[in-house]
Structure 1
Amino acid sequence: MVANIGRTDRIIRIVAGLLLLSLVFIGPQTLWGLVGLIPLTTAFVNFCPAYKLLGMDTLGK
């Protein structure tokens, strides 16, 4: 896997993932918050399969 997520994109994914994941514990306490694991995982591995399919790259050269 070649990294295709830049620093800003990574930070946004971490914040969004944590916010979504917080829905499991606070707020409506719904399991839909587990969707937050997707942006967190992609942020920590620096690879987004959707970006690969779309030919996108926010890494910057």
Structure 2
Amino acid sequence: MLLSVLLQAAAGVGISKLGAAIGAGIAVLGAGIGIGKIGSSAMEGIARHQDASGDFGMNLIIAAAQ
């Protein structure tokens, strides 16, 4: 089912645009996973050291902005 849909889309818009769309989708997924790992690590750090939560929060914002 999915293969037939992809083949129909490839015939309609061309292989290069389909490849660009798939590549952009993979890049978005990778960025989402990376930001999720940053947030997860920050939450673990705050859970271990509650008194330093301000430092973790600032570092989280700086790391996510890069």
TM-score, L = length of structure 2: 0.38
TM-score, L = length of structure 1: 0.40
Instruction: Give the structure, 1 or 2, with the largest relative contact order (CA under 8 Å, sep 6 or more).
Output: 1
